Structures are given as structure tokens and as C-alpha cells.
Amino acid sequence: MDFNKNYFEIFGLPVDYTVDQDLLADRFLDLQKEVHPDRFAAGTDQEKRLAMQWATQVNTANETLRAPLSRAIYLLELRGIELEHNPTLPPAFLMEQIELREQLESIEEGEGSLEALDAFRKTMKQVMSKVQAEFGAALDEDPRKAEQVVYELQFLSKLMVSANRLEEKLLDY
């Protein structure tokens, strides 16, 4: 158990934005079995503590690599780039975000059409896929551009969370 390994190394994956999710899931299950604290129940206190720390590390690594936004942020961190709390974003992007937010609000304030929401979410998924591809391309070529793209991904992800919440509300979950 090497706590100095990065999350990709823990799972034996290449350090890349594109991650084979099935392979990640398989390796996660294998590692969980290997490091589960119950396997060390008869061990020393130190062995139990290390098993717990390693299991926590494996869980955190899995959660980070599973989600596109957290994976992107982690890749920037590996390159020494820390995100700003209040970044400066292009005005055109901010206007697009305002328009998308207003579009979502009009769906909510209208009769709450599930069809309109589905169309909105489909569009959002397409936009997010495009932005994720931009991030993947920029990561090695222009890390500062990749950083800007992550800020865009953060906005889009929050908007998608709002759209998902609206769907739950409309479906009365």
C-alpha cells in the first residue's frame, strides 16, 4: 500500500482525462476486496488503521476518477494548477449561462413540461460533451486553457444538477 501513488496509479490506469469506466469499476471492486478493513479485523491496531486509510484512499480515488468534473480538476492539480474561487470568465460564456439558466427557469415556471426539460437536458449533455472534449484536447497542449474549460464545466455541471432536481420535482420524487 503506497500512499504516494496518484489516483490513476492506484487503479493501474493511464493518467488521462479519458477513463475506461468499466475497467475502473472492475479494479475498484478488486481493490475494495483487497483492502477492506474487515480483512484486517484480527490484525494489529496499526494494520487496522492502515487498512482503513487505504480503503478511504481507494474510495476517494474512485469517486474522483468516476466523475468527469472532479477528474478534470484532479488532473489540473497533478499539473500544479489550483483553481481560483472567483475566476474571470469570458462575457460571452457568462451570457450563455444566463440564457440557459433563464431557459430552465421558464420550464419550471411554465406548466413544467417534462418534454421541454428532456430537450433541455439533452442539449446540456451535448454541450457538456463538447466542453469535456475541449478539456481533453487542451490538457496537454495548453493547461491554462484547460483550466478555463474546467470553470465552464463547473457552471454547466451546476446547471445540470438544477435540471435533475427539477425533473425530480416534476416527477414528484
Regions of the chain with pLDDT less than 50? none
Distance CA 24, CA 135 (A): 20
Distance CA 24, CA 46 (A): 28
pLDDT of res. 112: 64
pLDDT of res. 139: 94
Domains within the chain, CATH numbers bracketed = 7-66 (1.10.287.110), 91-170 (1.20.1280.20)
**Angle 127-19-6 from CA coordinates, rounded to 5°:** 120
Closest CA to 97 of 156, 146, 147: 156
Task: Compute CA distances 3 → 13, 31, 45, 110, 122, whole Å.
Answer: 16, 14, 18, 52, 40
pLDDT in tens, 136-161: 999 989 999 999 999 999 999 999 99
Q: pTM for this structure?
A: 0.86
* C-alpha dihedral (77, 155, 151, 70), degrees to nearest 10: 10
Read off φ and ψ for residue 152, nearest 5 degrees.
-65, -45
Distance CA 147, CA 127 (A): 17
Percentage of the chain beyond pLDDT 90 is: 69
pLDDT of res. 1: 62
